[in-house]
């Protein structure tokens, strides 16, 4: 799996869960028929939102994105569907290449953990899933967004 394919898959999943959450909000607040869509869509969206952020950081470090591009990638998850737009824009600007840290020596401190994740795919995947679970758990402790 290339960095671009991974990033695109998670960016599209984030947009899809935004749509589910928005549909759930419509059912809850407009038709006043059920809260189930917000409960399920909200939880799915929260988990995929965190996964998108983790993926963005890993890809940004590996692909040597600028701080500006990296922050824009993270901010793209806030408004609905912008992750897909961001993905298309950065692809057009040549932001993706092959995985750099699978073979190249880590040069910066931040490269080391990302290189470990990429060079140990199963352990890396499990570590990324654990990070998503912990960060989602922390978000649940903090509570829903204002107005939630």
**pLDDT tens for residues 14-70?**
999 999 999 999 999 999 999 988 999 999 999 999 999 999 999 999 999 999 999
Residues 51 and 101: their CA atoms lie apart, in Å, by 20
Whole-model pTM?
Answer: 0.90
Mean pLDDT of the chain: 93
What tokens were used for 87? 């993905």
Tell me how far the alpha carbon of residue 46 is from its chain's centroid. 10
What tokens were used for 105? 């020596």
Out of 2-6, 114-118, 128-132, pick the least confident: 128-132
Give yes or no for residue 142 having a pLDDT over 90. Answer: no
**pLDDT tens for residues 103-124?**
999 999 999 999 999 999 999 8
pLDDT at position 147 is 57
Residues 6 and 26: their CA atoms lie apart, in Å, by 30
**pLDDT tens for residues 55-102?**
999 999 999 999 999 999 999 999 999 999 999 999 999 999 999 999
């Amino acid at each position: 799996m290339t960095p671009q394919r991974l990033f695109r898959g998670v960016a599209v999943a984030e947009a899809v869960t935004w749509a589910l959450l928005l549909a759930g909000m419509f059912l809850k607040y407009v038709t006043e028929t059920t809260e189930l869509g917000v409960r399920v869509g909200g939880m799915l969206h929260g988990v995929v939102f965190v996964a998108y952020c983790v993926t963005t950081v890993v890809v940004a470090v590996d692909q040597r994105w600028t701080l500006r591009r990296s922050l824009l990638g993270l901010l793209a998850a806030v408004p609905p569907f912008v992750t897909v737009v961001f993905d298309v824009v950065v692809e057009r600007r040549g932001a993706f290449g092959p995985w750099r840290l699978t073979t190249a020596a880590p040069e910066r401190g931040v490269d080391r953990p990302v290189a470990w994740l990429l060079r140990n795919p199963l352990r890396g995947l499990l570590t990324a899933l654990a990070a998503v679970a912990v960060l989602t758990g922390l978000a649940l402790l903090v509570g829903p967004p204002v107005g939630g």
